[in-house]
């Protein structure tokens, strides 16, 4: 059985397993959609968000959409895989797989593929809900969708690898959510998912700039917000070059840590 | 004889598995202390011993999960510390604890695992062999403990292994399920599968295995055919009785009838508390393990006295 064939079979298996795990589906798949619905409904009477006084603005739903798309990348990758793999390490699933001729590469193709498939479905769902229920106008220029495509692919790959890397931290399956959720939650608050990034104090923006979520959100804003909103960014530009570089650095970091720390079982001395 | 046959017969002569002077230290504690044994191809070998005796450490070294501290090990001709995927494809491993992806049905799980192996068994045949036909479409999370254990066994044999590791496979089985499991293992044995079994149930070891090794305190205290373990001396019948003054006595003898007759004649009546016991495998095993425990206590006492 070739690695690619087994890898493909793992993608199907992992995706099926994901959708049969209610916790994972709610907290990593549906969560951004639920948050979009809450924000869009709760703030619907507060008027539009504008880039400056007297300028034309966008609805709360339209403003929050890019941030929640970025949050979806983080949840589908980091939170999903970190909790999932730590759990599989804890319940002996990985130990069992380690005793079979399954290649670790095929195993990771399965994990990455599951993350990619579910993240695509999640983004499609977010866009559909935003457009259909909250009247958000989606971009029509092909160039915007090209940007969306690379930010999405780079973002989800980075996020998935960081999830694998983070899965080595919890000492047990039970502590996995306790380790992972606070990190993911704090990042979402300081990176412009729930709070408007331009309103955060500069020191907090600088801290957020160290981590990848801020860059995913910025890349998504470049796609979905009107050009006028560019002035609200830290440098006054979308800085897509910065987005690419920051995500690539974190991609390499995630890859190296995953490669070094992954074990089928906790190896004794 | 062509080359393939020559290679095959050559392989058949080599043991399926051997360890020489196998040692495993955790810090300063020797969990496995200089163990040597081998298992022939097609043989079923039982490793017996109390919890913490070093059975699991030994078996996990042979499965490739743990690194040994010292000694030699060969499993299907490969050093288990450096076994690659093609080596794993020839093994079947039933671990002691079951970690199950409960979200999948029995059939889905087996079909998926079958895909890892070059020449797997038929999924439905394996499901039938472990007696889970009526549960094939049930999610594993909804099965009882004993049924899940049967899924573990099914996953261990789905790849048509040459060598099967069974670490306490029947824990949680009811008596009927255990009997069914024995039939399954005998069938695998008939097909030529080499089996290394650990178990707490001595009747199981007696039923299934050709030979057994007894591990206690990390040491192999005895090894031999299942009906020879402990030596001939350990199988000599024991006569127990009470003397006329009520003192309990016991004596090992090959002629228990003669001894009893002599006792009756000597005390002039039916002796109280009379019994004649032929030691069961369990008695012999407990004696072996007990001796080893006493020995290690003595060693510890000596060490304490010396320090």
pTM of the model: 0.87
pLDDT for the residue B3: 43
Nearest to residue B199, comparing CAs of B226, B159, B160, B161?
A: B226
The separation between CA B42 and the C-alpha centre of its own chain, rounded to angstroms, equals 15
Lowest mean pLDDT: which of A121-135, B57-71, B270-284?
A: B270-284
- Measured between beta carbons, the chain A residues lying within 8 angstroms of B98 are 92
Q: What pLDDT score was predicted for residue B300?
A: 60
Contact B117 A100 (CB under 8 A): yes
Identify the CA nearest to B35 among candidates B22, B24, B47: B22
Q: Compare all CA atoms of chain A with the CA of B110 and give the residue at the minimum distance.
A: A13
* Residue B5, pLDDT score: 45
Distance, first Cα to last Cα, chain A: 33
pLDDT for residue B281: 80
Quickly list H helices, B168-247: 175-190, 202-208
Per-residue pLDDT band for B43 (boundaries 50, 70, 90) equals: very high
Q: CB-based contact (8 Å) between A269 and chain B?
A: yes
Question: Which residue of B24, B62, B70, B115 is the best one to mutate when testing the A interface, meaning the one whose CB has the most A CBs within 10 A?
Answer: B115
Q: In which element (H, E) is residue B219 found?
A: strand B219-225
Angle, in degrees to the nearest 10, between helices A212-224 and A202-210: 100
Q: What angle do CA A237, A240, A241 make, to 5 degrees?
A: 110
Q: What is the rounded distance in angstroms from the CA atom of residue B229 to the CA atom of residue B205?
A: 12
- In this structure, the strands spanning B248-252 and B272-277 are unpaired
Report, as an integer, the average pLDDT of B172-191: 89
Q: What are phi and psi of B29, to 5 degrees?
A: -90, 130
DSSP A169-182: S-SSHHHHHHHHHH
**What pLDDT digit, counting tens, does each position of B98-123 carry?**
666 689 999 999 999 999 999 999 99
Alpha helices (runs of H) in B200-280, residue ranges in sequence order: 202-208, 256-267
pLDDT in the model for residue A244: 97
pLDDT of B296 > 70? The answer is no
Burial class (CB in 10 A: 0-12, 13-18, 19+), B59: buried
- A100 closest CB neighbour out of B88, B97, B104: B88
Among A214, A94, A198, A199, residue whose Cα is nearest residue A151: A214
Query: Do residue A96 and residue B97 have CB atoms under 8 angstroms apart?
Result: no
Q: Given pLDDT bands bounded at 50, 70 and 90, which one contains residue B232?
A: confident
Q: Are residues A9 and B65, on separate chains, in Cβ contact within 8 Å?
A: no
Q: Is there a contact between A78 and A171 (Cβ–Cβ < 8 Å)?
A: no
List, in sequence order, every residue forming a beta bridge with B39; answer none if it has no partner: B17
| Partners of B26 in beta bridges | B29
CB spacing of B101 vs A93 below 8 angstroms: yes
The tokens describing B85, both together, are 């995927």
Q: What is the ipTM of this complex?
A: 0.91
Q: Which of A184-188, B62-66, B223-227 has the lowest mean pLDDT?
A: B223-227
**Is A22 at the interface with chain B, CB within 8 A?**
no
Helix (H, G, I), strand (E, B) or coil at B17: strand
Q: How does pLDDT run across A49-101, given as a tens digit for each residue?
A: 888 888 888 999 999 999 999 999 999 999 999 999 999 988 889 999 999 99
β pairing state of B163-167 and B194-198: parallel
CA distance B173 to A72: 45
Partners of A267 on chain B (C-beta within 8 Å) are 66-67
pLDDT tens digits, A122-162: 999 999 999 999 999 999 999 999 999 999 999 999 999 99
């Amino acid at each position: 059985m070739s690695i690619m064939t087994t890898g493909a079979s793992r993608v199907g298996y992992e995706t099926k397993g994901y959708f049969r795990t209610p916790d994972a589906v709610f907290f990593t798949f549906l969560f951004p959609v639920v948050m979009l619905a809450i924000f869009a409904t709760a703030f619907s009477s507060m008027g539009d968000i504008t880039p400056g006084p007297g300028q034309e603005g966008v609805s709360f739903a339209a403003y929050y959409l890019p941030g929640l798309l970025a949050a979806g990348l983080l949840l589908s990758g980091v939170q999903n895989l970190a909790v999932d793999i730590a759990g599989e390490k804890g319940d002996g699933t990985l130990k069992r797989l380690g005793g079979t001729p399954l290649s670790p590469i095929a195993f990771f193709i399965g994990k990455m593929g599951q993350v990619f498939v579910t993240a695509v479905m999640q983004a499609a769902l977010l866009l559909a809900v935003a457009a259909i229920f909250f009247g958000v106008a989606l971009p029509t220029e092909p160039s915007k969708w090209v940007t969306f495509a690379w930010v999405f692919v780079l973002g989800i790959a980075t996020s998935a690898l960081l999830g694998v890397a983070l899965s080595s931290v919890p000492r047990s399956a039970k502590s996995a959510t306790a380790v992972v959720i606070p990190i993911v939650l704090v990042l979402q608050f300081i990176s412009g998912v729930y709070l408007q990034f331009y309103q955060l104090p500069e020191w907090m923006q600088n801290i957020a700039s160290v981590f990848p979520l801020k860059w995913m959100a910025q890349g998504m804003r470049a796609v979905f917000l009107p050009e006028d909103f560019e002035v609200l960014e830290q440098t006054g530009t979308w800085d897509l070059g910065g987005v690419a570089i920051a995500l690539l650095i974190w991609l390499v970091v995630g890859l190296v840590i995953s490669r070094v720390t992954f074990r089928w079982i906790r190896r004794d001395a | 004889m062509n080359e393939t046959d020559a290679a095959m017969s050559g392989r058949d002569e080599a043991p399926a598995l051997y360890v020489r002077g196998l040692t495993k230290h955790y810090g300063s504690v020797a969990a496995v202390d200089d163990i040597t044994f081998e298992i022939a191809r097609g043989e079923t070998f039982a490793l017996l011993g109390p919890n913490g005796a070093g059975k699991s450490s030994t078996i996990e070294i042979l499965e490739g999960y743990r690194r040994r501290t010292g000694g030699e090990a060969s499993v299907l001709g490969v050093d288990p510390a450096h076994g690659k995927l093609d080596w794993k494809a020839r093994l079947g491993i039933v671990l002691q604890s079951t970690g199950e992806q409960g979200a999948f049905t029995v059939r889905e799980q087996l079909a998926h695992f079958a895909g890892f192996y070059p020449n797997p068994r038929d999924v439905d045949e394996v499901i039938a062999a472990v007696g889970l036909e009526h549960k094939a479409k049930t999610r594993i999370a909804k099965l009882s403990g004993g049924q899940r254990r049967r899924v573990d066994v099914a996953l261990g044999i789905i790849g048509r292994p040459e060598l099967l590791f069974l670490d306490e496979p029947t824990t949680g089985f009811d008596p009927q399920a255990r009997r069914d499991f024995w039939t399954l293992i005998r069938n695998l044995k008939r097909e030529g599968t080499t089996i290394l079994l650990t178990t707490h149930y001595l009747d199981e070891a007696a039923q299934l295995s050709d030979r057994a090794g007894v591990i206690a305190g990390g040491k192999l205290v005895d090894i031999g055919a299942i009906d020879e373990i402990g030596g001939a001396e350990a199988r000599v019948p024991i006569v127990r009785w009470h003397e006329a003054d009520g003192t309990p006595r016991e004596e090992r003898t090959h002629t228990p009838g003669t001894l009893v007759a002599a006792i009756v004649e000597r005390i002039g009546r039916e002796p109280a508390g009379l019994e004649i016991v032929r030691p069961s495998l369990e008695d012999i095993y407990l004696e072996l393990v007990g001796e080893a425990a006493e020995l290690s206590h003595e060693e510890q006492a000596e060490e304490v006295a010396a320090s």
